[in-house]
C-alpha cells in the first residue's frame, strides 16, 4: 500500500471507485460523485454503495497551456476542495503526469473497481478520456457534464446541429435539466486515501488581483449577486463596463466550482438565463466542430487578407499592452492583465478592434486571451472571438464594426471604467476621458490608427471574399 500524505487512518475497502476530478471542483450538485458513491440517480454507476477515492491529475499538456492566472486559481481551488473533503473525512489525492498512465497506476494500486468522471466535451478532453478508458482495466463511467444540457443533446428537426443561437435557446429551454443534487454531508460517503504528491507552486501573477477560489467562493458570489437583485437588474446593467452589473461567475463555472443547474434552479430572469445558454451553445458548436477551436467556422474568412509583419507585430504589442491610444480598448486590455478578467462588452470591442481596425486574425487575439483569462474556456473564447470577428455563429454581420470611442461613451458614460485602469487619464473628468487627443495627455499614446479609415479597409477586404 503506498504511503499517504493525507491525515487520518488509511481505509482499505473491498470496493472502491475512483472519482477523477477535472472541471468539477465542488461537492454540491455533483452527479459523478453520487454515481461513484452509488448514491445518485437511478441508473448511474451500478447503484451499489462504494467508497470514493477522489483524485486530481496534473496533466502537463493542460498545465503548459494555462497562463499564470488560471494556474493560481486551479491550485487554490484544489486546496479549497481538499479542505472540504477533509471536513467530510476524506482528502484529495493529487497525481502528476500523463493521465492514462496515472489513472492506470492508481487503479492497480487501489484495486478500484471503476473510474468515474463528469464527461468532458472539449476536443482535447475527449481524446484524453478515450486514451484513459483504453488504458485502465475497469469500467470508465461518465456521469453529468459541466453544462445543464450536454453538448450534442439538442439538434434541429433534421438532426443537424444549431448554428444560430435563438432557435438553440428555444430547444435548450424545452429540453430542460434535472434539479440540483444535494451536497453530501459527513458520513454520507466513505472515502479512500492513496499516495498523493504536493500541489505545485502557482503564485498569483505580480500585481494581479484575482477572484476568490473554490466552491464556497462560488456559492457566495452567486448569493451576493442574487441578494443585490443581480439577475433582475441584469438586462439593464450587464453592458455597463463601469458598473458591477454582471455575476462574475465565469471563473467558477470554468472550474466547475458551481454547476450551471444550481444557477438555473428557480431562476426567473430570461436575460441571465440566455447568457448561461450562450456558454452551452458554444460548447455544443465546438462539440460538433472541434476544429473550430482554432479554425474559421465560416471557412471563407480564412481567405481574407490579414496584416502580418513587423508593423502588424508592433500594433499587436500595443493592443496587448493596452497602449493603442483608444481609452476603452486600453482599459479592457489592462483589466485583463490586472484581473485575468474583462467585461463582456469590452471583450467584444477589443476583439473587434484587433480584427477590424488592426486587420489581424482572431486566433492571435484568442491565444492572448487564453493565456491571461482566469475564466479562459476554449469554447466560449474561440467562439466569442469568431462572433466578434464576424466569422462565427449567428451570421454576426461583418459590416457592423464597433467604433471604439462611441462604444466607450455609451457603455462607460462617465469614464469611470477607463480611469480605473488607465491612470494616465485620471485627470480627465467625465466622458472627456474617451477622447484624450482633444486635450493632449502626456504619457498616453496618440491613436495607433484612424478608425474611420480602417473601417473602410475592413469593409473592402470583406467585399473581396464575399465576391
Ligand atoms: C472575445 C470573447 C472572448 C470570451 N472568452 C470567454 C472565455 O474564455 N470564458 C468565458 O467564460 N467566457 C468568455 N466570453 C464570454 C463572456 O465575456 C464572459 O463569460 C463574461 O464576461 C464573464 O463574466 P460574468 O461571469 O460576470 O458574466 P455574466 O454576464 O454574469 O454571465 C453569466 C455567465 O453566462 C456565461 N456567458 C455570459 N456571456 C457569455 C458569452 N457571450 N459567451 C459564452 N458564455 C457567456 C458565462 O458563463 C457567465 O459567467 C468571451 C466573450 C468574448 C466576446
Residues 312 and 224 in one domain: no
Round to whole Å and give the CA distance between 347 and 293. 18
Residue owning the nearest CA to atom 40 of ligand 1: 278
Residues 283 and 303 in one domain: no
Pairing between strand 51-58 and 16-21? parallel
What is the structure's pLDDT at 287? 96
Residue at 235 is within a domain: yes
Domain of 58, CATH number, reads 3.40.50.620
Domain of 402, CATH number, reads 1.10.579.10
What is the structure's pLDDT at 14? 61
Please name which of 286, 274, 266 lies closest in space to residue 168, comparing C-alpha atoms.
274
Residues 333 and 252 in one domain: no
Choose one of 145, 160, 186: the last residue of a domain.
145
Distance from Cα 86 to the centre of ligand 1, integer Å? 33
Residue at 193 is within a domain: no
Residues 277 and 376 in one domain: no
Are 13 and 51 in contact by the 8 Å Cβ rule? The answer is yes
Residues above pLDDT 90, as percent of the chain: 83
CB of 238 within 6 A of ligand 1: the answer is: yes
User: 99-113, 128-142, 233-247, 320-334 — which is least confidently predicted?
Assistant: 233-247
What is the structure's pLDDT at 397? 72
DSSP 294-332: TS-SSGGGGGS----SHHHHHHHHHHHHT-SS-HHHHHH
Per the structure block, which three cell numbers stand in for 453? 479609415
What is the structure's pLDDT at 3? 30
Domain of 260, CATH number, reads 1.25.40.80
Residue at 120 is within a domain: yes
CB of 344 within 6 A of ligand 1: the answer is: yes
Residues 252 and 121 in one domain: no
Residues 263 and 299 in one domain: no
Q: In a mutational test of the pocket of ligand 1, which residue from 275, 346, 400 has the highest number of ligand atoms less than 8 Å from its CB?
A: 275
Residues 436 and 313 in one domain: yes
Choose one of 255, 288, 321: the last residue of a domain.
288
In this prediction, residues 68-97 reach a mean pLDDT of 96
Please name which of 124, 126, 127, 174 lies closest in space to residue 149, comparing C-alpha atoms.
174
pLDDT tens sequence across 356-367 = 999 999 999 999
pLDDT tens sequence across 331-354 = 999 999 999 999 999 999 999 999
Four-CA torsion 251, 371, 330, 282, nearest 10 degrees = -60
Choose one of 236, 254, 288: the last residue of a domain.
288
CB of 386 within 6 A of ligand 1: the answer is: no
Residues 320 and 454 in one domain: yes
What is the structure's pLDDT at 10? 38
CB of 376 within 6 A of ligand 1: the answer is: yes
Are 358 and 270 in contact by the 8 Å Cβ rule? The answer is no
Residue owning the nearest CA to atom 38 of ligand 1: 275
Residue at 112 is within a domain: yes
In this prediction, residues 55-79 reach a mean pLDDT of 95
How much is the mean pLDDT over the chain?
Answer: 92
What is the structure's pLDDT at 39? 81
Residue at 8 is within a domain: no
Atom of ligand 1 nearest to the CA of 365: 1
Atom of ligand 1 nearest to the CA of 249: 25
Please name which of 351, 391, 382 lies closest in space to residue 286, comparing C-alpha atoms.
382
| Nearby residues of 84 by Cβ (< 8 Å), 6 or more positions away | 27, 214, 215, 216
Round to whole Å and give the CA distance between 66 and 74. 10
Distance from Cα 40 to the centre of ligand 1, integer Å? 30
Residue owning the nearest CA to atom 11 of ligand 1: 250
Residue at 333 is within a domain: yes
CB of 377 within 6 A of ligand 1: the answer is: yes
What is the structure's pLDDT at 40? 65
In this prediction, residues 85-101 reach a mean pLDDT of 97
Residue at 49 is within a domain: yes
CB of 184 within 6 A of ligand 1: the answer is: no
234 or 385: whose pLDDT is higher? Answer: 385
Are 3 and 196 in contact by the 8 Å Cβ rule? The answer is no
Element (H, E) at 51: strand 51-58
Residue 288's region, left for phi above 0, alpha for psi from -120 to 50, else beta, is: alpha
| Nearby residues of 308 by Cβ (< 8 Å), 6 or more positions away | none
398 or 429: whose pLDDT is higher? Answer: 429
pLDDT tens sequence across 249-280 = 999 999 999 999 999 998 888 899 999 999 99
Round to whole Å and give the CA distance between 10 and 349. 54
Residue at 205 is within a domain: no
Q: In a mutational test of the pocket of ligand 1, which residue from 212, 234, 250, 388 has the highest number of ligand atoms less than 8 Å from its CB?
A: 250
Residues 377 and 447 in one domain: yes
Domain range for 140: 13-145
CB of 258 within 6 A of ligand 1: the answer is: no
Residues 268 and 326 in one domain: no
Atom of ligand 1 nearest to the CA of 238: 29
Quote the radius of gyration of the chain (alpha carbons, Å): 24
Are 81 and 256 in contact by the 8 Å Cβ rule? The answer is no
Residues 386 and 448 in one domain: yes
Distance from Cα 43 to the centre of ligand 1, integer Å? 34
User: 110-124, 333-347, 381-395 — which is least confidently predicted?
Assistant: 381-395
Residues 280 and 420 in one domain: no
What is the structure's pLDDT at 59? 97
Q: In a mutational test of the pocket of ligand 1, which residue from 262, 269, 380 has the highest number of ligand atoms less than 8 Å from its CB?
A: 380
Residue owning the nearest CA to atom 45 of ligand 1: 279
How many domains does the chain fold into?
A: 3
Q: In a mutational test of the pocket of ligand 1, which residue from 148, 294, 375, 392 has the highest number of ligand atoms less than 8 Å from its CB?
A: 375
Amino acid at each position: 500500500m503506498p504511503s499517504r500524505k493525507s491525515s487520518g487512518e488509511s481505509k482499505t475497502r473491498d470496493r472502491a471507485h475512483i472519482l477523477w476530478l477535472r472541471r468539477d471542483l465542488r461537492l454540491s450538485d455533483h452527479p459523478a460523485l453520487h454515481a461513484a458513491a452509488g448514491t445518485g440517480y437511478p441508473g448511474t454507476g451500478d447503484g451499489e454503495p462504494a467508497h470514493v477515492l477522489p483524485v486530481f491529475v496534473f496533466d502537463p499538456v493542460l498545465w503548459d497551456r494555462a497562463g499564470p492566472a488560471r494556474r493560481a486559481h486551479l491550485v487554490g481551488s484544489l486546496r479549497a476542495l481538499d479542505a472540504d473533503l477533509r471536513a467530510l473525512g476524506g482528502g484529495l489525492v493529487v497525481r502528476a503526469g500523463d493521465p492514462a498512465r496515472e489513472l492506470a497506476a492508481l487503479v492497480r494500486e487501489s484495486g478500484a473497481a471503476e473510474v468515474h468522471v463528469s464527461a468532458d466535451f472539449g476536443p482535447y478532453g475527449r481524446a484524453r478520456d478515450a486514451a484513459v478508458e483504453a488504458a485502465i482495466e475497469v469500467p470508465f463511467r461518465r456521469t453529468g457534464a459541466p453544462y445543464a444540457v450536454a453538448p450534442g443533446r439538442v439538434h434541429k428537426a433534421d438532426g443537424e446541429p444549431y448554428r444560430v443561437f435563438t432557435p438553440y435557446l428555444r430547444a435548450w429551454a424545452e429540453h430542460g435539466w434535472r434539479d440540483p443534487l444535494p451536497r453530501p454531508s459527513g458520513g454520507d460517503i466513505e472515502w479512500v486515501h492513496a499516495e498523493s504528491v504536493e500541489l505545485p507552486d502557482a503564485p498569483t501573477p505580480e500585481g494581479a488581483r484575482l477572484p476568490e477560489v473554490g466552491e464556497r467562493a462560488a456559492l457566495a458570489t452567486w448569493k451576493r449577486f442574487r441578494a443585490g437583485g443581480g439577475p433582475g437588474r441584469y438586462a439593464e446593467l450587464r453592458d455597463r463596463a463601469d458598473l458591477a452589473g454582471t455575476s462574475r461567475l465565469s471563473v467558477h463555472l470554468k472550474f466547475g466550482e458551481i454547476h450551471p443547474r444550481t444557477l438555473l434552479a428557480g431562476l426567473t430572469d430570461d436575460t441571465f438565463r440566455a447568457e448561461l445558454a450562450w456558454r452551452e451553445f458554444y460548447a455544443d458548436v465546438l462539440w460538433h466542430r472541434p476544429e473550430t477551436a482554432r479554425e474559421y467556422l465560416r471557412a471563407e474568412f480564412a481567405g481574407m487578407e490579414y496584416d502580418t509583419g513587423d508593423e502588424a507585430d508592433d500594433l499587436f504589442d500595443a493592443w496587448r499592452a493596452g497602449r493603442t491610444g483608444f481609452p476603452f480598448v486600453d482599459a479592457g486590455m489592462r483589466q485583463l492583465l490586472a484581473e485575468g478578467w474583462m467585461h463582456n462588452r469590452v471583450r467584444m470591442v477589443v476583439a473587434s478592434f484587433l480584427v477590424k481596425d488592426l486587420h489581424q486574425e482572431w486566433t492571435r487575439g484568442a491565444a492572448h486571451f487564453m493565456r491571461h483569462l482566469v475564466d479562459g474556456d476554449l469554447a466560449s473564447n474561440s467562439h466569442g472571438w469568431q462572433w466578434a470577428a464576424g466569422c462565427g455563429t449567428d451570421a454576426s454581420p461583418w459590416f457592423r464594426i464597433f467604433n471604439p470611442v462611441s462604444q466607450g461613451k455609451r457603455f462607460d458614460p462617465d469614464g469611470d471604467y477607463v480611469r480605473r485602469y488607465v491612470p494616465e487619464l485620471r485627470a480627465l473628468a467625465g466622458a472627456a476621458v474617451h477622447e484624450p487627443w482633444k486635450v493632449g495627455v502626456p504619457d498616453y499614446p496618440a491613436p495607433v490608427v484612424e478608425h474611420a479609415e480602417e473601417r473602410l479597409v475592413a469593409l473592402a477586404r470583406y467585399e473581396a471574399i464575399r465576391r
